[in-house]
């Protein structure tokens, strides 16, 4: 728990968004996967590489608040695409 919390703060810093979004990104995915997931051995959480790449894409946005909102929209879009791929059995 403590390591995951520290990692989530570091990953939020890599994304260049507000740090409070880090712990939230570690709470929601395991809850959703517990309900909808199919693999018992899967590990769901944040990743350093994904955080770094997301931060690079969000670097073009102006201030911290704009980057945080853009990151939330980006995350929602990716989730919808992956959800659609699961419904249509594309992956």
E strands in the chain: none
Give me the pLDDT at residue 84, please.
Answer: 93
Tell me, rounded to whole angstroms, the distance of Cα 87 from its chain centroid. 21
Q: What is the mean pLDDT of each run of 10 residues along the chain (91 residues)?
A: 84 90 84 84 79 90 92 91 90 70
Give me the pLDDT at residue 64, please.
Answer: 92
């Amino acid at each position: 728990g403590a390591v995951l919390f520290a990692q989530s703060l570091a990953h939020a810093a890599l994304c260049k968004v507000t740090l409070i979004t880090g712990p939230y990104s570690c709470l929601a995915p395991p809850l959703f996967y517990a309900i909808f997931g199919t693999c018992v051995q899967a590990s769901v959480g944040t990743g350093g590489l994904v955080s770094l790449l997301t931060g690079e894409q969000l670097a073009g946005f102006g201030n911290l608040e704009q980057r945080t909102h853009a990151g939330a929209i980006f995350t929602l879009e990716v989730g919808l695409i992956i959800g659609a791929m699961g419904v249509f059995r594309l992956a």
